[in-house]
Each structure stands twice: as C-alpha cells, then as structure tokens.
C-alpha cells in the first residue's frame, strides 16, 4: 500500500523514504530481540546438554560448552535413564493408536451430524456441545475410578480409549462437512451412490485439510499429556514421556545434573520439532484454523 | 494447554446460534407434520436412522462413559463426603466437602495465586503478542522466518521446557540468569527449586514461562486476524496522514477485537488452569516443600486427586470433586461475564 502514495515534491518523497528506513530498522531490531528471547531456552537446553558434569557447575556459567561432549546423550540412550526411550516408544504408540481411532470415530460422527437426517439429531448435538464448557478437571477423577474398576490401570487402553472421541473434533469436522454443497450429495444419489461411498469419495477428499489438522493436534495432545498418564499408569514401564521426564528428574531440577536433564529434554523435544520442520505449513494452518473457525 | 481452552471457547459463540436454529427447526418440523405427512420423507428418515446409529454409536458410547457420566458423577460425589471409590459406597449426603474446601486456607491461597497469575500474565502477554503481530505484519522480508521462530514454543513439551526454564532460572550461582545478575553486581536469587524461593521470584519465573509459552498461539491468531482486515482502512488512514499510534488504537485494535476477546478468554482459562508449568518449575510440592507456596486452583484439586491415586486414600476424592465443581463455577462465571462484555463492546 505504501507505493500508492503521491508526494508534492521529490524532497518530501525522500524525507518519507528516510523515515521509513529508520522505522524499518527499529522494527527489525525489536523483532530480532524478541526472536532471540524466544530462542534462548532452546539454545540453553542444547548448550547445557553438551556440557560436562564439571562445566555445568562452573561459576560463572559458560555460554558455549568449552569441551562439548556427547556423553550425556550416550547416558540417555544406554545408562540408567535409558528407560526414557521406552517412554518415547510408549508415547508414539499411544499417539498413533489414539489418532487412528479418533479420526475414524470423528469422521463417522460428523458425517452423521452433518449429512444424515434422524430423530433427535440436533438435540444430541447440542448436548455434546454443552459438555465442552466443562473443564477436564471435572472428569478426570471419575474417569480414574472407572478405569480402576475396569481393571485397566497400567494398560495401553487406559491411555487410548478415553480420548478417542472428542466433541471438539466432531464439531470441527461437522462444520467442514456442512460447507459442502447439498447439490453434490443429490448428484451422487441420482447416480445411485450409497451414503458411505459419497462420504468416502466426496466428503473425505474435500475435508482432507481438516482431517490432517485433527491428526496433528491429536498427536501433539498425546505428546503433551501429563496428568492422566501419570494417574492411570504408575508402573515404571508404562509411563509416557512427559510423566517419565518428571519421574526421572523431578528431584534434581535446578541441581547438579542439569546436563543430564537437558540431554533428556532435548531427546524428548526433538520428535515434535522434527515433525514441525516437516509439516510447518500444515501445523500452523491447522492451529490457526482450529482456533478461529467455528 | 491454553490451546485446549482455545478449542473449547470458539464454539461458545456458536452454541447460542445453534440453539436458536434448533428452535426454528423444531417449529418448522411441527408445521410440516401438521400440514401433510410426506410418506417418502418418513421412509428416508427411518433408513438414515439406522445408518446414524451405526455412525454415532462408537462416539456416543465413549462420550457417555468418559464425558457425560463423569460430569454427573463428580457432582454427585462432591455431595457425599464419605464416598469410597473402591467399593462405590456413597455414604450419607452432606455439604462437608464444600465446607472443608472453602474453609481451607490452602484453597484460598491457591485461588489467590491463580488470580495473580491471570491478572499479570494475561494482559502482558496479549499486549506483547499484539505489538509483535503489528510489527510482523508491517514487514515483508523475513516475515515467514520470524513467524516460524515465534511459533516454535507451541511445538514444545510443556514439562520438558518447564525443566529448561528451571535450569535457566537455577537458584545456584551457575544458573544463566544468576550468572547475568552476578555479572552486573546483583547477588543470586533463589528463582526455582524446592526451598527458599521468594514469592515474587517464583511468580516472576512462572510469568516469564507462561508468556514465552503462550505467545506462539496468540501471535498466530492475531496475525491471521490482522491479515483479514480490509486494506482500505489503512489506506484511508494514510491519506489522512494518521499517526501510527492512532492507526493502532483506532483501526487495528477495534477490528481485531473479536480475536482479542477470544484470546483473552482462552488465555484466562489457560492461566486459570496452570498446573504442569508450576510442577515442572517447582516440583510436585509446588514450591517450598510443605508450604506449597505456588499452588494453583487446579494444583489444589490434583493434590487431593494424587492422594487418591498414589496413596490410595479414598475419602479425599469427595473433596477433590467439590474443589473441581467450585473451579467449574468460577470458569463459568468468568466466561459468562466475558460473553456479556462481548455483546457490549466488541466491534464486528
């Protein structure tokens, strides 16, 4: 829009240009500082993870490791903290299972709510929406007792089953399905296609971005879950990463094994960051869409 | 965490509309029925009813067991102080659990801490996010690059980076922040850890972490909002040589107000529910050992819940439920007020 401006004289235009450049400099300067603040924790995590036990306790702290070492990572993968790998495996497994079931269940339910006509459809849907106002803290206690009574404590199904149906995702996908014009449906019907074929051949391809979004959000969700896994899986073998991290290190926070802890947090953080690097556009668009759409 | 909340609140606005729609649909259908009973319509309905059952069954069964039933049950349990979850015996009805919670000094300290976190971190982070967004929107080169950097905290594990912040704000002299402080002649502060944390210091670390963690989502939402604003407003302002500050307060902020309100609600809810950040910074005791200096509202609920889970003490479940119901009412009240403000103030 800046180019659309007209100036009375060249001098005025030059002056404007000068002010613009100075302003631009400060804008970049400020943004760079903010970006640095954003990156410091990442840098400090990496830097500390390459330090030796002596260097980590050096006063004053060193900003660049003097003698970078991989020993901390070797310890994460082979030492007493090697169980972290199992936690990562658990998390990946639970994340994938949850996501697969969640996507299938969500697609079916939102198809029913958006396309099918049946008695009580809107009432059921309204009932589902009202539960979204209730914070998860209201449910976690009873869910724990339910899982305990089912005898599912320390099992994978305790980590997966309660999360495979989400009102939010059903709503999200239903909104998406609703935008598909009715004419497509009638055309498919006239051609003698069944509802399920229509779902498979028409609705799913159109709603693909939303389904990718759901997949990504569900994966991030499992990766970050803390209290639920911690409550239903107490056994050392069954933990997920977040709880596992706390379990291994909670008594050492800010203590003398910072280099070990940072190597472990790096290992735990990398999968999400790598996934982000691969699916940048999808993830950012997905998060923005799920936030604003509705 | 905050995003969880974000997902929930978007639909609040829609729920109202939805109920209105249902109202009109029901009356429409009644009119249809009263007019002519359409036979093909009826048949179609039956067929779809069968399909709908198949499609909805998995979702509804899971939701019934893990969403509807727990909500009702938690309400119930909160009124039965002697509830035993192992045997499922309810015991006698009473308000004792609520009395215990409301008379507990720790509960009010938790509420106070939570309120302070909300009041300090929410406006601050929204302001910072707005400024960054406006600046980000004004540049062309490197915009995408900065956007990715600012988004990075979103794809981190909350507990893992809580541990990172605990290392940066280590109470020892070799912590990053203490090293910097010592360099300018200020003595070390016990920022984190499990003992001797000054109240202001702990709160400062929590706030810094909350802002760092929450900016990503806010900037993303604001940026997609700002890019949706019609360029003509800015061009008109430019023709009138409006100062930047006035452009910001008179055009950008009012036109972004739906997003700002939405972010305010979601980040308030997020701050209201802070728990894992506090745990990762100060350990499971939430600060200074038995003092639980930085306990939060959700932390209070989980403190009792954890005693049920890890120490097998069944009778505190009722108290945890009562605290959860109180938290729910608080959240409901806050959202109600904001929805009301939404109607009054927000410019569309």
pLDDT digits 0-9 by tens, A72-95:
888 888 877 778 888 889 999 999
Inter-residue long-range contacts of A211-216, CB under 8 Å, 24+ positions, other chains counted: A211/A103, A211/A107, A211/A173, A212/A282, A212/A286, A213/A172, A213/A282, A213/A285, A213/A286, A213/A287, A213/A289, A213/A290, A214/A102, A214/A103, A214/A106, A214/A169, A214/A172, A214/A173, A215/A99, A215/A103, A216/A279, A216/A282, A216/A283, A216/A286
Domain contains B139? yes
A135: left (phi over 0), alpha (psi -120 to 50) or beta: beta
User: Average per-residue pLDDT in chain A?
Assistant: 85
Domain contains B288? yes
What pLDDT shows up at residue A294? 28
Residue B39 pLDDT greater than 50, yes or no = no
pLDDT digits 0-9 by tens, B272-293:
888 888 888 888 778 777 778 8
Domain count, chain B: 1
What pLDDT shows up at residue B281? 86
Domain contains B66? no
Residue B9 pLDDT greater than 80, yes or no = no
Residues in chain B: 348
Domain contains B10? no
Q: Is the peptide bond before B132 cis (omega within 30 degrees of 0)?
A: no
Domain that holds residue B289: 100-345
User: Nearest-CA distance from B120 to chain A in Å?
Assistant: 19
Residue ranges matching CATH 1.10.3720.10 in chain A: 75-292
Q: Chain A partners of B49 at a C-beta cutoff of 8 Å? A: 118-119
Residue B113 pLDDT greater than 70, yes or no = yes
User: Nearest-CA distance from B247 to chain A in Å?
Assistant: 14
- How far is the C-alpha of B50 from the C-alpha of B48, rounded, in Å? 5
- Which of the two residues, A82 and B247, has the higher pLDDT score? B247
- How far is the C-alpha of A40 from the C-alpha of B235, rounded, in Å? 38
Domain contains B57? no
CB contact under 8 A, B55 and A108: yes
Per-residue pLDDT band at B31 (split at 50, 70, 90): low
CATH code assigned at B144 = 1.10.3720.10
Domain contains B23? no
- What average pLDDT score do residues A44-62 get? 88
pLDDT digits 0-9 by tens, B117-176:
989 999 999 999 999 999 998 888 899 999 999 999 998 888 899 999 988 998 888 888
Residues in chain A: 294
Is residue A57 within 8 Å of residue A260, measured between CB atoms?
A: no
- How far is the C-alpha of A68 from the C-alpha of A48, rounded, in Å? 9
Interface test with B, best of A30, A227, A254 (most B CBs within 10 A): A254
Name the residue among A5, A112, A123 with its Cβ closest to that of B55: A112
Name the residue among B73, B192, B234 with its Cβ closest to that of A1: B234
Domain contains B24? no
Q: What is the chain B residue with the closest CA to A199?
A: B55
Q: Chain A partners of B231 at a C-beta cutoff of 8 Å? A: 1
Name the residue among B55, B151, B168 with its Cβ closest to that of A109: B55
User: Average per-residue pLDDT in chain B?
Assistant: 82
In this predicted structure, which of A165-179, A211-225, B19-33, B245-259 has the lowest mean pLDDT?
B19-33
**Angle at A186 (CA atoms; ends A181, A188), nearest 5 degrees:** 100
A75-292 carries CATH number 1.10.3720.10: yes
């Amino acid at each position: 829009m800046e180019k659309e401006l007209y100036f009375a004289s060249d001098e005025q235009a030059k002056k404007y240009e000068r002010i613009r450049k100075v302003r631009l400099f400060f804008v970049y300067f400020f943004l760079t500082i903010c970006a640095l603040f954003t990156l410091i924790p990442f840098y400090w995590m990496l830097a500390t993870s390459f330090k030796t036990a002596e260097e980590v306790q050096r006063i004053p702290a060193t900003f660049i490791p003097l003698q970078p070492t991989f020993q901390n990572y070797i310890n994460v993968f082979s030492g007493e903290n090697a169980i972290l790998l199992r936690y990562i495996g658990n998390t990946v497994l639970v994340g994938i299972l949850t996501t697969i079931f969640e996507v299938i269940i969500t697609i079916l339910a939102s198809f029913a709510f958006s396309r099918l006509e049946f008695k009580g459809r809107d009432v059921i849907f309204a009932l589902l929406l009202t539960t979204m106002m209730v914070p998860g803290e209201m449910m976690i206690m009873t869910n724990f007792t339910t899982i305990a009574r089912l005898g599912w404590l320390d099992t994978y199904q305790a980590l997966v089953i309660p999360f495979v149906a989400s009102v939010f995702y059903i709503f999200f996908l239903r909104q998406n399905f609703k935008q598909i014009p009715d004419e497509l449906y009638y055309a498919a019907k006239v051609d003698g296609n069944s509802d399920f074929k229509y779902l498979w051949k028409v609705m799913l391809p159109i709603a693909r971005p939303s389904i990718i979004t759901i997949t990504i959000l569900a994966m991030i969700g499992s990766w970050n879950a803390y209290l639920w896994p911690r409550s239903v899986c107490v056994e050392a073998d069954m933990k997920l990463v977040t709880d596992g991290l706390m379990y291994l290190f909670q008594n050492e926070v800010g203590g003398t094994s910072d280099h070990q802890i940072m190597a472990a947090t790096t290992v735990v953080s990398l999968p999400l960051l790598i996934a982000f690097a691969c699916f940048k556009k999808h993830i950012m668009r997905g998060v923005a869409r799920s936030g604003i759409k509705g | 965490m905050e995003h969880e909340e974000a997902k929930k609140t978007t639909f609040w606005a829609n729920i109202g509309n939805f109920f209105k729609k249902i109202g009109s649909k029901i009356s429409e259908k009644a009119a249809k029925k009263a007019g002519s009973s359409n036979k093909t319509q009826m048949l179609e309905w039956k067929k779809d009813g069968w399909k709908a059952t198949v499609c909805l069954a998995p979702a509804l069964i899971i939701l019934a067991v893990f969403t509807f039933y727990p909500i009702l049950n938690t309400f119930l349990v909160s009124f039965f102080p002697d509830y035993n979850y192992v045997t499922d015996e309810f015991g006698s009805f009473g308000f004792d659990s609520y009395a215990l919670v409301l008379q507990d000094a720790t509960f009010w300290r938790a509420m106070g801490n939570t309120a302070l976190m909300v009041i300090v971190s929410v406006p601050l982070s929204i302001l910072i996010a707005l400024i960054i967004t406006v600046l980000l929107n004004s540049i062309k080169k490197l915009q995408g690059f900065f956007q990715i950097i600012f988004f990075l905290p979103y794809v981190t594990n909350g507990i893992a980076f809580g541990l990172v912040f605990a290392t940066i704000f280590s109470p020892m002299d070799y912590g990053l922040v203490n090293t910097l402080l010592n360099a300018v002649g200020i003595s070390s502060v016990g920022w984190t850890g499990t003992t001797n944390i000054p109240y202001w210091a702990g709160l400062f670390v929590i706030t810094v972490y909350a802002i760092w963690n929450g900016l990503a989502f806010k900037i993303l939402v604001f940026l997609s909002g700002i890019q949706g604003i019609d360029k003509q407003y800015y061009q008109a302002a430019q023709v009138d040589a409006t100062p930047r500050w006035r452009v910001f307060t008179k055009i950008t902020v009012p036109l972004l107000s739906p997003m700002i309100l939405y972010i305010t609600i979601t980040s308030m809810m997020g701050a209201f529910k802070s728990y894992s950040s506090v745990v990762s910074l100060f350990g499971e005791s939430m600060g200074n050992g038995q003092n639980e200096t930085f306990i939060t509202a959700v932390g209070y609920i989980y403190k009792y819940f954890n005693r049920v889970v890890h120490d097998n003490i069944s009778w505190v479940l009722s108290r945890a439920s009562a605290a959860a119901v109180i938290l729910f009412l608080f959240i409901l009240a806050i959202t109600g007020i904001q929805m009301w403000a939404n109607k009054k103030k927000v410019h569309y």
